[in-house]
């Protein structure tokens, strides 16, 4: 049975036991209903404690039930909550592990909550395009007040127990949590004043500043643009403060149902499943145990090396950060210090946490310092000859067991592996910039990479808090190979008549974090040009000269204060000289500039991604369409609520995607022709037929 009923004297313990995370599926809900009834009917039971088996309070509803509709089969959560509030006996939640989503909504319905010191609580529904639908927005606001609730629910954050206590969500923290909850429940039954149910509380509902909600909406307008759920969460919290209680609860439910039916919710559910599927590596089944990684070397203490060192140190791994000279190492360690300074300033780490992590990173100039590492990550300049030399030295200086990884964005992993005596332990670990912030880790499988090497880097990603995708080895892997034509198309659009503002505006309105030209400025136009210069192009292709000219004129992007835009701090402004440069290119190429509409701009940027994505699937570079979506969402700012480029294409209809490509091909070149794999997928109803297992 997924719920257990036990007695501890006059207290009934209702324990939820539904591995792995005690999700509240129909069987659990039925068990809870029966347990609550039994506790109500038994005159010897004076109070009830709700807890989870294996030190884990329910971490949410069953996601598959939300999608299938089974979450609506009686008893639904709302019915259980009504039963709890009408029990007539004190009921206390003992929270260990993570009480999230529906699980935390259940806890919020109790008279009180006691949490373990390391417990986390939260309502992360927004991440699935939902709002809490079982009174979560209303009860949370009544306990914590509107300001803290707005922050917590629109971000979906998991709050540590200490924070939950500070804002009033829980009543106490106790290491022996269940026992403490039983004792408190017993005292409550024995006459200690019973805390008011959250539903009945009004003392925290006063809005501290009259324009709290208007100001919050204005401050988050950009972050929430295009999305439904975060706005509805704000509406529901406002309703808790301004409407009669019953109406607030009803509105929340109505908005929950609205969100649940939205395409955004379906897209985010797809992303949720795709992220989990990406962990499964066909070449390394669950029987392959990852190697333990406790000490790593990072070679190259530049932008990426410093960020990668911070990722490892934050996960408790010792790092030796190596560069060519004492000065370069000192600079790298300075970068590390600055990253920790930022983390403390932003409240991501406490001063002590930052100090402890930073102390795990030491600098070195001699490769002999890497004599005891379990793994080395190379992050030197993107120069194939230099990387080959570094791999030869790593092979000589690290223990034979060590894995040798490259952070290259585009280069051939097999070429690096060939310089070593252990190609089976060579792999790509492509971090994104800034490495300590960006969630994606695109791991790259070389021809000889062993299942254990792959299992190790996939497990490592999880330990670093990253979302990993395994890509095959080709120029640019998944992400940068697709990006190549997307970036090139942005420049073609500029040549034909669009402006940087127009292009970035369209892409950002679609939901991308940043348009293609703003992204170029962030990465550096010199870097973009250098990468492009090294690449072979099909004979019928040409690169636009715009990027080269930008680099030649010192318009490097953010780092030089000017690129496609002028920068002052984080603000970007238009630069008329850029338009002049673009118009000059159009003239030289004999292109008559014209007005381009939003629809054309968007179509011409998104469709090359999809056509290339189909080729990646067919070549086995990406195992699943969902892997490509995960790469684009977490590495390139594609809006998660649109599900990623491949999901988006399926929603549009692959036949329509083919039509658009065919319409564009005659005037824009052969690369627009829909590839055979895209046609095959369209004929067979979706990407599934190209999936590798
Ligand atoms: P960077 O120029 O900031 O740093 C490179 C560092 O490598 C420098 O400190 C340099 O002194 C050091 N170095 C050079 N030769 C060395 C050697 N023989 N031994 C030890 N150190 C040496 O470069 P970066 O932006 O950090 O990029 C590093 C790698 O990461 C490249 O392969 C790049 O393609 C990849 N990458 C970069 C980004 C990005 O956005 N910057 C993103 C993903 C991947």
Q: Which atom of ligand 1 is nearest to the CA of 433?
A: 40
Whether residue 552 is found in the same domain as residue 564? yes
Domains identified in the chain, total number: 4
Ligand 1 near 610 CB (within 6 A) = no
Positive or negative: CA dihedral 521, 522, 523, 524: positive
Ligand 1 near 407 CB (within 6 A) = yes
pLDDT (0 to 100) of residue 145: 97
CB 386 within 8 A of CB 380: yes
Whether residue 516 is found in the same domain as residue 558? yes
Ligand 1 near 523 CB (within 6 A) = yes
Ligand 1 near 379 CB (within 6 A) = yes
Ligand 1 near 301 CB (within 6 A) = yes
430, 458, 475 - which closes a domain: 475
Q: How far is the CA of 536 from the centre of ligand 1 (A)?
A: 22
- Averaged pLDDT of the chain: 95
CB 261 within 8 A of CB 269: no
Whether residue 482 is found in the same domain as residue 408? no
The CATH code of the domain that includes 567 is 1.10.1040.50
Ligand 1 near 299 CB (within 6 A) = yes
Who contacts 249 (Cβ-Cβ below 8 Å, separation ≥6)?
Answer: 135, 138, 199
446, 475, 504 - which closes a domain: 475
Query: How far apart, in Å, are the Cα atoms of 281 and each of 196, 285, 465?
Result: 50, 6, 18
DSSP E strand stretches across 116-166: 120-122, 159-160
pLDDT (0 to 100) of residue 690: 79
Residue to mutate, 305, 308, 322, 380, ligand 1, most ligand atoms under 8 Å from C-beta: 380
Is 288 inside any structural domain?
Answer: no
Q: Helices 598-619 and 676-683: crossing angle, nearest 10°? A: 90
pLDDT (0 to 100) of residue 693: 64
Q: Which listed residue (105, 378, 496, 650) is catalytic?
A: 105
pLDDT (0 to 100) of residue 527: 86
475, 498, 529 - which closes a domain: 475
Specify the residue for token string 């499943």.
273
Is 276 inside any structural domain?
Answer: no
pLDDT (0 to 100) of residue 209: 83
Q: Which atom of ligand 1 is nearest to the CA of 325?
A: 11
Q: How far is the CA of 380 from the centre of ligand 1 (A)?
A: 3
Whether residue 493 is found in the same domain as residue 536? yes
Q: Which listed residue (15, 125, 238, 496) is catalytic?
A: 125
List, edge to edge, every strand of the sheet that includes 159-160: 98-100, 120-122, 159-160
Q: Helices 229-242 and 212-219: crossing angle, nearest 10°? A: 170
Q: How far is the CA of 505 from the centre of ligand 1 (A)?
A: 31
Whether residue 368 is found in the same domain as residue 248? no
Q: Full-prediction pTM beyond 0.75?
A: yes
Ligand 1 near 300 CB (within 6 A) = yes
Ligand 1 near 304 CB (within 6 A) = yes
| Cα–Cα distance measured from residue 123 to residue 128, given in angstroms and rounded to the nearest whole number | 11
Whether residue 64 is found in the same domain as residue 191? yes
CB 626 within 8 A of CB 277: yes
Q: How far is the CA of 595 from the centre of ligand 1 (A)?
A: 40
Is 279 inside any structural domain?
Answer: no
Whether residue 151 is found in the same domain as residue 213? yes
Whether residue 587 is found in the same domain as residue 616? no
Is 285 inside any structural domain?
Answer: no
Radius of gyration of the chain (CA): 28
Whether residue 43 is found in the same domain as residue 147? yes
- Low-confidence residues in the chain, pLDDT < 70: 693
Whether residue 532 is found in the same domain as residue 654? no
Whether residue 213 is found in the same domain as residue 308? no
The CATH code of the domain that includes 103 is 3.90.226.10
Who contacts 99 (Cβ-Cβ below 8 Å, separation ≥6)?
Answer: 57, 58, 59, 93, 106, 107, 115, 119, 120, 121, 122
Query: How far apart, in Å, are the Cα atoms of 405 and each of 77, 328, 394, 440, 443?
Result: 48, 21, 10, 16, 9
For residue 169, with 0-12 CB atoms within 10 Å meaning exposed, 13-18 middle and 19 or more buried, which class applies?
A: buried
pLDDT (0 to 100) of residue 552: 95
Interval 25-41: pLDDT, tens: 999 999 999 999 999 99
For residue 582, with 0-12 CB atoms within 10 Å meaning exposed, 13-18 middle and 19 or more buried, which class applies?
A: buried
The CATH code of the domain that includes 410 is 3.40.50.720
Is 249 inside any structural domain?
Answer: yes
Is 221 inside any structural domain?
Answer: yes
688 is catalytic: no
Residue to mutate, 298, 301, 302, 530, ligand 1, most ligand atoms under 8 Å from C-beta: 302
Range of the domain at 448: 295-475
Is 284 inside any structural domain?
Answer: no
125 is catalytic: yes
Ligand 1 near 302 CB (within 6 A) = yes
The CATH code of the domain that includes 619 is 1.10.1040.10
Residue nearest to atom 35 of ligand 1 (CA): 408
CB 479 within 8 A of CB 636: yes
Q: Which atom of ligand 1 is nearest to the CA of 431?
A: 43
Query: How far apart, in Å, are the Cα atoms of 582 and each of 484, 574, 599?
Result: 20, 13, 22
Is 7 inside any structural domain?
Answer: yes
Ligand 1 near 322 CB (within 6 A) = yes
Q: How far is the CA of 168 from the centre of ligand 1 (A)?
A: 47
Q: Which atom of ligand 1 is nearest to the CA of 386?
A: 18
| Cα–Cα distance measured from residue 491 to residue 271, given in angstroms and rounded to the nearest whole number | 30
Whether residue 130 is found in the same domain as residue 238? yes
């Amino acid at each position: 049975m997924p719920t257990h009923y036990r007695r501890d004297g006059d207290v009934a313990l209702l324990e939820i036991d539904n591995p792995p995370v005690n999700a509240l599926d129909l069987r659990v809900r039925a068990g809870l209903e029966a347990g609550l009834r039994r506790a109500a009917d038994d005159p010897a039971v004076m109070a009830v404690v709700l807890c989870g088996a294996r030190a884990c309070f329910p971490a949410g509803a069953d996601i598959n039930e939300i999608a299938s509709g089974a979450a609506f089969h009686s008893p639904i959560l709302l019915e259980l909550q009504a039963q709890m509030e009408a029990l007539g006996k004190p009921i206390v939640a003992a929270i260990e592990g993570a009480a999230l989503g529906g699980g935390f909504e259940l806890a919020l319905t109790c008279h009180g909550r006691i949490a373990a010191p390391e417990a986390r609580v939260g309502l992360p529904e927004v991440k699935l395009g939902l709002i809490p639908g079982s009174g979560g927005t209303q009860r949370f606001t009544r306990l914590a007040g509107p300001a803290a609730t707005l922050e917590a629910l629109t971000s979906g954050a998991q709050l540590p127990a200490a924070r939950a206590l500070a804002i009033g969500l829980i009543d106490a923290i106790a290491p022996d949590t269940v026992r403490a909850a039983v004792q408190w429940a017993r005292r409550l039954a024995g006459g200690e004043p019973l805390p008011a149910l959250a539903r009945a509380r009004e003392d925290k509902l006063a809005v501290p500043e009259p324009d709290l909600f208007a100001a919050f909406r204005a401050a988050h307008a950009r972050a929430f643009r295009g999305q439904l759920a975060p706005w509805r969460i704000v509406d529901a919290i406002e309703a808790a403060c301004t409407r009669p209680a019953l109406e607030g609860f009803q509105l929340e439910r109505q908005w929950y149902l609205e969100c649940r039916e939205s395409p955004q919710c379906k897209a985010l559910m797809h992303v949720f499943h795709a992220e989990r599927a990406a962990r499964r590596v066909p070449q390394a089944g669950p029987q392959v145990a990852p190697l333990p990684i406790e000490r790593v070397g990072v070679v190259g203490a530049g932008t990426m090396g410093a960020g990668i060192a911070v990722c490892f140190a934050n996960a408790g791994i010792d790092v030796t950060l190596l560069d060519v000279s004492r000065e370069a190492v000192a600079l790298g360690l300075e970068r590390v210090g600055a990253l920790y300074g930022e983390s403390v300033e932003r409240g991501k780490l406490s001063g002590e946490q930052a100090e402890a992590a930073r102390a795990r990173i030491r600098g070195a100039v001699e490769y002999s310092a890497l004599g005891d590492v379990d793994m080395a990550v190379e992050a030197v300049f993107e120069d194939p000859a230099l990387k080959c030399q570094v791999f030869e030295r790593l092979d000589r200086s690290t223990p034979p067991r060590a894995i040798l990884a490259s952070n290259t964005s585009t280069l051939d992993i097999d070429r690096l592996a060939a310089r070593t005596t252990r190609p089976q332990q060579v792999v790509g670990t492509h971090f994104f910039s800034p490495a300590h912030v960006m969630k994606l880790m695109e791991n790259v499988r070389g021809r000889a990479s062993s299942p254990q090497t792959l299992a190790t880097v996939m497990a490592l990603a999880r330990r670093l808090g990253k979302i990993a995708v395994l890509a095959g080895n080709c120029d640019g892997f998944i992400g940068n190979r697709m990006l190549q034509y997307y970036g090139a198309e942005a420049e073609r659009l500029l040549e034909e008549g669009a402006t940087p503002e127009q292009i970035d505006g369209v892409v950002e309105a679609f939901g991308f974090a940043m348009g293609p030209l703003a992204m170029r400025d962030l990465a550096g136009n010199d870097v973009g040009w250098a990468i492009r210069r090294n690449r072979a192009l099909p004979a019928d292709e040409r690169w636009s000269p715009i990027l080269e000219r930008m680099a030649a004129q010192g318009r490097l992007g953010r780092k030089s204060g000017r690129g496609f835009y002028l920068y002052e701090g984080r603000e970007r402004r238009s630069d008329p000289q850029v338009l002049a440069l673009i118009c000059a290119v159009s003239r030289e190429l004999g292109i008559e500039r014209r007005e381009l509409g939003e629809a054309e701009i968007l179509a011409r940027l998104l469709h090359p991604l999809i056509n290339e994505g189909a080729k990646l699937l067919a070549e086995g570079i990406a195992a699943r369409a969902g892997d490509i979506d995960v790469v684009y969402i977490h590495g390139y700012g594609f809006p998660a609520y649109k599900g990623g480029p491949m999901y988006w294409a399926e929603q549009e209809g692959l036949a329509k995607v083919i039509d658009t490509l065919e319409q564009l091909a005659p005037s824009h070149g052969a690369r627009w022709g829909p590839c055979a794999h895209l046609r095959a997928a369209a004929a067979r109803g979706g990407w599934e037929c190209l999936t590798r297992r």
